[in-house]
Amino acid sequence: MILENLSSNIKTIVSPDFVWGAGISAYQTEGARDIDGSGKSIWENFEQGRRIKDRSSAAQACNFYNSFPSDLSMMNWLGLDHFKTSISWPRIMPDGGGAVNPKGLAYYDRLTDEMLNKGITPWYVAYHWDLPQALQDKGGWVNRDIVSYFLNYLEVCHKHLGDRVDNWIVMNEPIVFAGAGYFLGIHAPGKVGLKNFLPAMHHINLANAEGINFLQAEGAKNVGTALSFASIQSVDDSPKNEEAAQRVHATINQTFLDPMLGNWYPTTIAPFLRKIDKYVRSSDMTRIRATPDFLGVQVYTREVVKHSYLMPYLQAKILSAKKRNMPVTSLGQELYYPALSEILDWLVSHMGSKKVPLYITECGVSMPESDTIHPVEDGYRMQYYHAVFETLLPHIQSEDVRGLFYWSLMDNFEWAEGYTAPFGLFHVDFNTLERNPKQSAYWVKELAERLKRG
């Protein structure tokens, strides 16, 4: 009954060509990393440092590398016609640059063809965090040379797959891989401090813009990038706390959006960003701009902020959701349904005339689940999608939201959380590799059927 109401509400608003899809990423699912000539990525190294919560690794993960034909049949079963995954840079260029690995490229050929044969439209993310270790040995994103390595890699991807692939997402969530990987050290490559973060941030921005411009110049039809955002609120309305919240907001939500729009870094709000000047060359102001065909939006939570003299750079503290007595996800983030729509409101006003079409390129949630019976009872996930879709609906037309991808098609390796945070519509038994639809998968399938029924 409730699904009936939701689907008819969606139908009155959403056009038939609205993109409904699901996503995964290469490193989190493919496994098979030691075969067919693949190189190593920074994540493989990071895992060895015992930095993963459950001490697991992505060596096997979902074995998507070998099981993609049946996994794509799960997409058909769900009734979702768009599939987002990423290309593994070390798989196709084991040393990051130079020689191309034909077997790696052949795998992405097979994967692409299988999608097309099954009536599924591919969306490829070029960079979803698995940097070749060979490039990290040269400094990774901290070394400015990475920009040209990245463009060479993009050229290989597009040259090889561009005849069949229209939809390209240049980067996935730069603030997360720059912040967690090059400032906090909690993601690969485990680097810390401003001296790593600021140059990494600047080089990622350059690579992102030049990547978008390059693919557009090559004639790719639909080129975007996917940024993550968090809704930021001050703990109260005192000016001190409000200003602290603005600094956090600028750092999380603007550092990878503003430069691309031609607005440079938000240094007035967050003065510590001025130190970026050290890494900037005179032509960068121009090189860092791009007009993507779309922006991918990924919002998982909100953060509540308080002023703190003790915190370096930001003088701001993010208050833990648990201590605020709010419901939390497996990642300890606040379960907060309006976060996405709050960000959409902000994006529209912030981007102004530079606003481009939006896709919700990831949308998902994870809470502890019991897998003793199937289908896994993940009512919380259906509740999440239901609530988020309701908050999203009023934005779809006015803000030109053109699609949404469920995260994730199946449970997978959740980075530093290992296998402790299941995000899938399908449960994966990581011993047998068997997949089973969860209750939410039936919900997604029914919604897709209702929406297609006309």
Q: Which residues are tagged catalytic?
A: 173, 362
Residue 378 in the binding site for ligand GAL (CB under 6 A):
no
Q: Which whole-number Å values give the CA distances from 380 to 74, 193, 362, 440, in the listed order?
A: 22, 37, 17, 9
CA distance 149 to 203: 11
Supply 251's token pair: 């750092």
Residue 235 in the binding site for ligand GAL (CB under 6 A):
no
Residue 444 CB, nearest approach to ligand GAL (Å): 17
Which span sits near ligand GAL by CB under 6 A: 131-139, 171-179, 281-289, 320-328? 171-179
Which are the contacts of 264, defined by CB distance < 8 A and separation ≥ 6? 258, 285, 288
Among 47, 71, 173, 210, binds ligand GAL (CB under 6 A): 173
Supply 230's token pair: 């968090």
Residue 415 in the binding site for ligand GAL (CB under 6 A):
yes
CA distance 248 to 175: 12
Residue 83 in the binding site for ligand GAL (CB under 6 A):
no
Residue 172 in the binding site for ligand GAL (CB under 6 A):
yes
172 burial (CB, 10 Å; 0-12 / 13-18 / 19+) is: buried
Of residues 93-152, which lie at the interface with ligand GAL (CB under 6 A)?
Answer: none
Residue 407 CB, nearest approach to ligand GAL (Å): 6
If the CB atoms of residues 298 and 341 are measured against ligand GAL, the closer one turns out to be 298
| Residue position matching structure tokens 């879709």 | 389
User: 313, 321 in Cβ contact below 8 A?
Assistant: no
| Residue 415 dihedral angles phi and psi, to the nearest 5° | 50, -130
Residue 331 CB, nearest approach to ligand GAL (Å): 6
Residue 228 CB, nearest approach to ligand GAL (Å): 6
DSSP string, 355-377: ---EEEEEE--------SSSS--
Which span sits near ligand GAL by CB under 6 A: 50-58, 64-72, 168-176, 394-402? 168-176
User: 201, 276 in Cβ contact below 8 A?
Assistant: yes
Supply 41's token pair: 């990525």
Residue 342 in the binding site for ligand GAL (CB under 6 A):
no
How much of the chain is in helix, strand and coil states, percent to nearest 5? 45, 20, 40
If the CB atoms of residues 226 and 392 are measured against ligand GAL, the closer one turns out to be 226
CA distance 392 to 405: 13
Residue 228 in the binding site for ligand GAL (CB under 6 A):
yes
Residue 407 in the binding site for ligand GAL (CB under 6 A):
yes
If the CB atoms of residues 86 and 254 are measured against ligand GAL, the closer one turns out to be 86
If the CB atoms of residues 213 and 253 are measured against ligand GAL, the closer one turns out to be 253
Query: Residue count at the site for ligand GAL (CB under 6 A)?
Result: 11
Residue 61 CB, nearest approach to ligand GAL (Å): 12
Of residues 8-27, which lie at the interface with ligand GAL (CB under 6 A)?
Answer: 25
Among 30, 258, 378, 414, binds ligand GAL (CB under 6 A): 414
If the CB atoms of residues 19 and 244 are measured against ligand GAL, the closer one turns out to be 19
If the CB atoms of residues 152 and 330 are measured against ligand GAL, the closer one turns out to be 330
Among 107, 423, 426, 443, binds ligand GAL (CB under 6 A): 423
CA distance 34 to 46: 16
How many Cα atoms sit within 13 Å of 372 on the Cβ side? 1
Supply 452's token pair: 């297609």
Which span sits near ligand GAL by CB under 6 A: 70-78, 170-178, 209-217, 426-434? 170-178
If the CB atoms of residues 105 and 207 are measured against ligand GAL, the closer one turns out to be 207
User: 244, 305 in Cβ contact below 8 A?
Assistant: yes
Among 13, 100, 151, 176, binds ligand GAL (CB under 6 A): 176
Supply 222's token pair: 């639909």
| 53 sits in which H/E element | none
Which span sits near ligand GAL by CB under 6 A: 3-11, 284-292, 311-319, 407-415? 407-415
Residue 133 CB, nearest approach to ligand GAL (Å): 19
Cis bond upstream, residue 375 (ω within 30): yes
Supply 33's token pair: 């990393």
- Which neighbouring-strand residues pair with 192? 184
If the CB atoms of residues 173 and 258 are measured against ligand GAL, the closer one turns out to be 173
Residue 419 CB, nearest approach to ligand GAL (Å): 12
CB atoms within 10 A of CB 446: 15
Which residue ranges make up the site for ligand GAL (CB under 6 A)? 25, 28, 172-173, 176, 228, 362, 407, 414-415, 423
